[in-house]
Amino acid sequence: MKRVSLTQYLVEEQRLHNTIPAELRLLIEVVARACKTISHAVSKGALGEVLGSAGSENVQGEVQKKLDVLSNEMLLEANEWGGHLAAMASEEMETIHPIPNRYPKGEYLLLFDPLDGSSNIDVNVSIGTIFSVLKAPEGMKEPNEEAFLQPGSKQVAAGYAVYGPQTVLVLTTGNGVNCFTLDREMGSWVLTQRDMKVPEETKEFAINASNARHWYPPVKRYIDELLAGKTGPRGRDFNMRWIASMVADVHRILNRGGIFMYPADAREPDKPGKLRLMYEANPMAFLIEQAGGAATNGKQRIMDIQPQKLHERVAVFLGSKNEVERATSYHME
Ligand code: AHG
Ligand code: MN
Ligand code: MN
């Protein structure tokens, strides 16, 4: 089999479709390199002294794990000096991270969830990194937080890495979705799946069912119908999976279909859900749509939402088109 590296893929993609100019290619390669470093740290586990709590909290009041902090630093360091970015933002930082003045600045904005699935770090279950790339408003070299508040439809690239049995990188630049596997011996990303497509029909769903008592009626109805199986209104049985790492759940869905849900619920009625719009929901929505699936907050296409805040939360329904459309339609009735 002829091996196509990430670099070769990016260069050829630019030649064919003109969607990946050199600066964006550098950005993607640098993010991929940082993910390689994170993957290496993750795989060391206790031997690398990377497990456990960092003894701090992030802006959302969540306890930071050592790997949350480490991965954040790795992504910041890798991306500061290349001249391709105007600024960065992260789940683990209250406000944006401008590029230090000693480096040249570029036109892109990078957002990331450096370590997704934190609760799985210490138990050796798949975790990952999620990222989203926007363009800074025309001519703006010193962007503020407001410059980041663009709807997901403005993303020029998005992707995630999964640190699981294999380390993979899944990427879109708006022209389909491709998957690269990390060759650990060679240290390179190799194209292993071209043009991934989410099957339209599915028999699998993913939701944290321990929150069932807090769900609002449309979610209750949708899940009850799935649980009723063959004898219920859906006329067939469904299976359930919940990994508690969005990256791993989305990766399964990209490969074999399914619907992923993290709805808003009555626990904290003011909160529109748990997941963050700008560096979790938007990049995943971009990937899923590029693979032929759908992503909504129950009412609206996720990528159409105009963000009001950097760390804004959002309800998420994404995956196989027919199921997402059904769950969304129950919210409209
Ligand atoms: P993070 O580790 O970046 O804070 O994200 C965790 C998210 C997401 O990956 C996952 O789907 C969800 O939280 C799990 O939430 P529950 O623990 O409520 O199931
Ligand atoms: Mn996350
Ligand atoms: Mn995280």
Cβ of 208 below 6 Å from ligand 1 = yes
**In terms of domains, do 120 and 227 share one?**
no
- Alpha helix (H) residue ranges in the chain: 6-17, 22-44, 66-80, 145-148, 217-228, 246-256, 282-290, 321-332
Residue identifier of the C-alpha nearest atom 3 of ligand 1: 116
Tell me which residue of 182, 166, 148, 163 sits closest to 282, measured CA to CA: 148
Atom of ligand 1 nearest to the CA of 113: 3
Q: Which residues span the domain enclosing 144?
A: 6-193
DSSP state of 166: S
Is residue 306 within 8 Å of 314, Cβ to Cβ?
A: no
User: Residue 97 forms beta bridges with which residues?
Assistant: 88
1 in any annotated domain: no
The helix/strand/coil state of 66 is helix
**Where does the pLDDT of residue 60 fall: very low under 50, low under 70, confident under 90, or very high at 90 and above?**
confident
171 in any annotated domain: yes
Cα separation, 114 vs 107, in Å, equals 21
pLDDT at 7: 98
The helix/strand/coil state of 271 is coil
Task: Indicate the residue among 132, 163, 193 that finishes a domain.
Answer: 193
289: pLDDT strictly greater than 90: yes
Question: What are the backbone angles phi and psi of residue 90, rounded to the nearest 5°?
Answer: -145, 155
What's the mean per-residue pLDDT of the chain? 96
Q: How far is the CA of 276 from the centre of ligand 2 (A)?
A: 8
179 in any annotated domain: yes
Average pLDDT, stretch 54-64? 88
274 in any annotated domain: yes
Residue identifier of the C-alpha nearest atom 18 of ligand 1: 208
φ/ψ region of 25 (left if φ > 0, alpha if ψ in -120 to 50, else beta) reads alpha
What CATH number has the domain bearing residue 243? 3.40.190.80
Extract the tokens encoding 68: 């949350």
49: pLDDT strictly greater than 90: no
Is residue 206 within 8 Å of 259, Cβ to Cβ?
A: yes
User: Residue 90 forms beta bridges with which residues?
Assistant: 112
What CATH number has the domain bearing residue 109? 3.30.540.10
**Which residues are within 8 A (CB) of 308 and not within 5 positions of it... i.e. 6 or more apart?**
149
Structure confidence by residue, pLDDT tens digits, 185-195: 999 999 999 99
Q: How far is the CA of 264 from the centre of ligand 1 (A)?
A: 14
Structure confidence by residue, pLDDT tens digits, 227-249: 999 999 999 999 999 999 999 99
Task: Indicate the residue among 165, 193, 221 that finishes a domain.
Answer: 193
Residue identifier of the C-alpha nearest atom 16 of ligand 1: 244
Extract the tokens encoding 210: 């321990």
Cβ of 60 below 6 Å from ligand 1 = no
**In terms of domains, do 184 and 293 share one?**
no
Atom of ligand 1 nearest to the CA of 274: 13
pLDDT at 59: 85
Q: Model-level pTM? A: 0.97
44: pLDDT strictly greater than 90: yes
Share above pLDDT 70 across residues of the chain, in percent, rounded to a whole number: 100
**In terms of domains, do 21 and 153 share one?**
yes
Cα separation, 292 vs 197, in Å, equals 6
**In terms of domains, do 162 and 182 share one?**
yes
Is residue 295 within 8 Å of 279, Cβ to Cβ?
A: no
DSSP state of 55: E
Cβ of 118 below 6 Å from ligand 1 = yes
pLDDT at 103: 96
262, 313, 317: residue to mutate for ligand 1 pocket, most atoms within 8 A of CB = 262
Cβ of 116 below 6 Å from ligand 1 = yes
Structure confidence by residue, pLDDT tens digits, 238-282: 999 999 999 999 999 999 999 999 999 999 989 999 999 999 999
Share above pLDDT 90 across residues of the chain, in percent, rounded to a whole number: 92
Q: How many CB atoms lie within 10 A of CB 201?
A: 10
141: pLDDT strictly greater than 80: no
Cβ of 206 below 6 Å from ligand 1 = no
80 in any annotated domain: yes
Cβ of 246 below 6 Å from ligand 1 = yes
**How many domains is the chain built from?**
2
Cβ of 273 below 6 Å from ligand 1 = no
317 in any annotated domain: yes
Task: Indicate the residue among 193, 213, 236 that finishes a domain.
Answer: 193
